[in-house]
Amino acid sequence: MVTNNDISVTLGPVTFKNPVFIASGICGYGEEYSPLVPIEELGAVVTKTITVRSRLGNPPPRIHEVPTGALNSIGLENVGLEAYIRDKLPLLRDKRVGVIVSIAAEFEEEFVEVADKLAPLDGYKGLELNLSCPNVEEEALDHGRNPEFVERITRIVKERVPDRALLVKITPNVTDIGEVAKAAEAGGADGISAINTVVGVDFDLETGKPIFHRGSGGYSGPGILPIALQKVWEISRAVSIPIVGMGGISSVDDARKFFIAGATAIQVGTSLWVDPELTKNIIAALHEHPEYLGTGTAE
Amino acid sequence: MTFTNIIQNNARPGHYECTVIENRALSRRYYLLVLSRPREMTNPEPGTFVHLLVPDANRFYLRRPFSVLDCDDETISLLIVEKGEGTRIMRRIEKGRPIDIVGPLGSTFPKVPGKRVLALGGGVGLAPLYYYGVRREAKDCETYRLLYGARSREDLFVDGFDWALDGVSFSTDDGSHGFQGNIVEFAQHEFEQSQVDVIFSCGPNPMLKAAAEFADRVGVPHYVSLENRMACALGACRSCVVLTRNGAIRYRTVCNDGPVFDARELVWKELPQA
């Protein structure tokens, strides 16, 4: 029997029809994935991270498979803010898709610029600050390790988009993820997205060199599930705002574990490339078993 | 320099479960995988590919892209070369077993009415060029001549495959079958014998680069199908990019902007030659 229990979730000022989102970087600007995934049925699509100016991204190879997932080195290739607003955002607005716009910037002024330009627009429900991309040269684009910076940027952006859900995506590549999460909470974030990819590397045995030109890449896929659950669990004990949990989800059961660890919503990433039915299956399971939600009681 | 690109991607992909109808070796490393064609699947145009999930996997695998070798109402045929673990597992999958595919995907070799096409297939790169030739209609091109090259006779599977296409000629690097020499040398030889208006090619990158240099030299338009590792295959994740120059320099995806490109658009020196 198909049941249709209410599984909507609220992040700050915004309600999403269900807690199943697609993670940034997986489905491009959203539209690209619509042939395979009915994106209007998702809680939200987090679009590919945009920066003020377009970025070419890293030279290939950019993807490398390992037995437990994949390493990537895309390097924030994106069309830039202006082209995103002009060409990409309208595509999804017309489809009534829940959109969360992922943004990254190097400097405070750039965050201000992005937030100011997006604030008056419609067609999206939230912003996700990507403060934790591991695949870029500019150290400033990976400033998610600095709690003081995280708090300041979160506050600056939230002031400009008070009526949207503001998520702060933080990196697992820190000693104390709770500290960074607390900083985002103090800055006024409506939720914490965790985790971004884990820094990893693989080597080519013939050349003795790393697979990627930049050396390290971002590791994702089933192998990071226990790391992600651990981090979400730690964050849930550090903050009281909602957590959007992700990292290695490849089944309904994996998603359930994030709710147990303390997540309010989840994002699916790498495994969607393998199983395009994954989000649909998780949404169906939650409709049937709404008790899976709100079980974040693990001590 | 900018130019008008006539390459199109009109594929409407779906996610399907197929059944293995036939899986047999064609040569040392090549095999033919014939799958049932899902009723709802749109017609794959020559050049498009399907993205296969490695069956019975006990570890994580990204999907693998394979160009369509042939297709009718009932079946889709793929030409596969055993390269790594994924294709080794697929080689063993038995008749009657299910296979999970996404497709058809990607751009197609263009229709060139009235033109005389010389197609160069290297190794597993034969697939989309064979498909174009075997399914072509009179209006697609004036004539279609396919040259198929490999290292040696064992790689050519001339005997194990039902060639439903006339006008195929073979070359081997070692001269064990057909023209002796690499396929671009063979192309040069053919070019001197007969008129050619357009070149198509598909194969290993070094071969494609040599073909591109040849096409440039003789001033003939050249459309090339590339291979790359992919993740989403929908142009979303930007994993499978190649550097292109059509006005601006930018990365384009092999999965969605390609796999078929106008060779003039590719920045060949940036294409991995391994």
Q: In sequence order, what are the beta bridge partners of A83?
A: none
Residue with tokens 């192309």: B187
- Which residues, including other chains, have CB under 8 Å from residue A120's CB and lie 6 or more apart? none
The predicted pLDDT at position B1 comes to 57
Asked whether the beta carbons of A35 and B13 are under 8 A apart, the reply is: yes
Asked whether residue A47 carries a pLDDT value surpassing 60, the answer given is: yes
Query: Rounded to 10 degrees, what is the CA torsion of A242, A246, A252, A254?
Result: -100
Q: What counts of helices (H) and strands (E) characterise chain B?
A: 5, 15
Judge: A32–B15 Cβ closer than 8 Å, yes or no: no
**Residue A33 is nearest to which of B63, B234, B270, comparing CB atoms?**
B234
Q: Which two tokens stand for residue A96?
A: 């009534």
Per cent of chain B over pLDDT 70 is 98
Residues in chain B within 8 Å Cβ distance of A64:
229
For residue A139, how many other CB atoms are within 10 A of its CB? 9
Domains of chain A: 9-292 (3.20.20.70)
Q: In sequence order, what are the beta bridge partners of B50?
A: B66
Judge: A70–B62 Cβ closer than 8 Å, yes or no: yes
Asked whether residue B91 carries a pLDDT value surpassing 60, the answer given is: yes
Separation CA A6–CA A4 (nearest Å): 6
Q: Which residue has the higher pLDDT, B274 or A78?
A: A78
pTM for the model stands at: 0.95
The predicted pLDDT at position B144 comes to 96
Mean pLDDT along residues B21-40: 94
Residues in chain B within 8 Å Cβ distance of A221:
60
Q: Which two tokens stand for residue A151?
A: 């708090």
The predicted pLDDT at position B6 comes to 84
Separation CA B131–CA B150 (nearest Å): 18
The predicted pLDDT at position B56 comes to 86
Q: Which two tokens stand for residue B144?
A: 């279609």
Separation CA B152–CA B173 (nearest Å): 6
The predicted pLDDT at position A5 comes to 86
Judge: B251–A77 Cβ closer than 8 Å, yes or no: yes
Judge: B241–A274 Cβ closer than 8 Å, yes or no: no
Pick from B237, B252, B266 the residue to mutate for testing the A interface (most A CBs within 10 Å). B237
Separation CA A132–CA A171 (nearest Å): 5
Mean pLDDT along residues A96-125: 94
In chain A, beta strands by DSSP E: 9-11, 14-16, 20-22, 44-46, 63-66, 69-72, 99-103, 126-130, 165-169, 191-194, 198-200, 203-204, 209-210, 217-220, 243-246, 265-268
Question: Is A75 an 8 Å CB contact of chain B?
Answer: no
pLDDT digits (tens, 9 = 90+) for A208-261: 999 999 999 999 999 999 999 999 999 999 999 999 999 999 999 999 999 999
Separation CA A36–CA A98 (nearest Å): 17
Question: Is B238 an 8 Å CB contact of chain A?
Answer: yes
Asked whether the beta carbons of A171 and A131 are under 8 A apart, the reply is: yes
Q: Say whether the peptide bond before residue B7 is cis (omega within 30 degrees of 0).
A: no
Separation CA B191–CA B64 (nearest Å): 35
Question: Is B220 an 8 Å CB contact of chain A?
Answer: no
Judge: A273–B235 Cβ closer than 8 Å, yes or no: no
Separation CA A199–CA A197 (nearest Å): 6
Q: Tell me the pLDDT band of A106, cut-offs 50, 70 and 90.
A: confident
Question: Is B95 an 8 Å CB contact of chain A?
Answer: no
Q: In sequence order, what are the beta bridge partners of A171?
A: none
Domain B108-226, CATH number (from 3.40.47.10, 3.40.50.80, 3.40.50.720, 3.40.50.2300): 3.40.50.80
Judge: A63–B256 Cβ closer than 8 Å, yes or no: no
Residues in chain A within 8 Å Cβ distance of B233:
273
Asked whether residue B273 carries a pLDDT value surpassing 90, the answer given is: no
Catalytic residue among A100, A133, A177, A224: A133
For residue A299, how many other CB atoms are within 10 A of its CB? 4
pLDDT digits (tens, 9 = 90+) for A78-99: 999 999 999 999 988 877 889 9
Specify burial of residue B10 (Cβ count, 10 A radius: 0-12, 13-18, 19+): exposed
The predicted pLDDT at position B164 comes to 87
* Catalytic (active site) residue A27: no
Backbone angles phi, psi at A290, to 5 degrees: -65, -15
Q: Mean pLDDT score of chain B, rounded to an integer?
A: 94
Asked whether residue B138 carries a pLDDT value surpassing 70, the answer given is: yes
Asked whether the beta carbons of A244 and A196 are under 8 A apart, the reply is: no
CATH 2.40.30.10 domain span(s) along chain B: 5-105
The predicted pLDDT at position B143 comes to 95
Asked whether residue A8 carries a pLDDT value surpassing 70, the answer given is: yes
Residue with tokens 């199943």: A20
Asked whether the beta carbons of B25 and B79 are under 8 A apart, the reply is: no
Separation CA B237–CA A103 (nearest Å): 16
Query: Using a CB cutoff of 8 Å and minimum separation of 24, what contacts does A106-114 make?
Result: A106/A51, A106/A138, A106/A140, A106/A141, A107/A140, A108/A152, A108/A153, A108/A156, A110/A51, A110/A52, A111/A153, A111/A156, A111/A157, A112/A156, A112/A160, A113/A52, A113/A81, A114/A50, A114/A52, A114/A81, A114/A157
pLDDT digits (tens, 9 = 90+) for B194-249: 999 999 999 999 999 999 999 999 999 999 999 999 999 999 999 999 999 988 89
**Residue B236 is nearest to which of A33, A63, A65, comparing CB atoms?**
A33
Per cent of chain A over pLDDT 90 is 85
- The minimum CA-CA distance between B165 and chain A, rounded to whole Å, is 33
CATH 3.40.50.80 domain span(s) along chain B: 108-226
Asked whether residue A184 carries a pLDDT value surpassing 90, the answer given is: yes
Backbone angles phi, psi at B53, to 5 degrees: -85, 130
* CATH superfamily of the B5-105 domain: Translation factors (2.40.30.10)
Q: Which two tokens stand for residue A218?
A: 């971002």
Separation CA A262–CA A232 (nearest Å): 7
Judge: A59–B243 Cβ closer than 8 Å, yes or no: yes
Mean pLDDT along residues B16-36: 94
